[in-house]
Amino acid sequence: GENVEQHPSTLSVQEGDSAVIKCTYSDSASNYFPWYKQELGKGPQLIIDIRSNVGEKKDQRIAVTLNKTAKHFSLHITETQPEDSAVYFCAASPPGGGNKLTFGTGTQLKVEL
């Protein structure tokens, strides 16, 4: 089955700096890679996703890059703000039925003033 590793487990940045979270996956057949943000007391919120036919996707201050050859993908947040502080999860999904997601272990991002 799929296995997703995520690094770092904690990340502290100054407000305005950039933050990068990296994930690697094991199943070369995986073709869908969402990123979720989970704030305290809330459920995971889908913030961006990418499919394997695309190398990069941007949405305002958030971008995701995918390297299929190396089987890794990354989340980039620019101009970080205190409200970006949360736990971020990457996930990977192979094709086929069930739409099953395998999550990474999560990154606690803290944006300090």
Closer residue to other proteins, CB minimum distance, 24 or 34: 34
Closer residue to other proteins, CB minimum distance, 14 or 98: 98
Q: CB 12 → other proteins: shortest distance, Å? A: 17
Q: CB 41 → other proteins: shortest distance, Å? A: 7
Question: CB-hemisphere CA count at 13 Å for 86?
Answer: 20
Q: Which residue is associated with the tokens 């919120």?
A: 45
Q: CB 58 → other proteins: shortest distance, Å? A: 17
Query: Site residues (CB under 8 A) for other proteins?
Result: 31-32, 34, 36, 41-46, 49, 51, 89, 93, 95-101, 103-106
Closer residue to other proteins, CB minimum distance, 44 or 86: 44
Q: Which of 69, 36, 75, 35 is nearest to 52 (CA)?
A: 69
Residue 23: beta bridge partners?
A: 6, 73
Q: Using CA atoms, how far apart are residues 66 and 78, in angstroms rounded to an integer?
A: 17
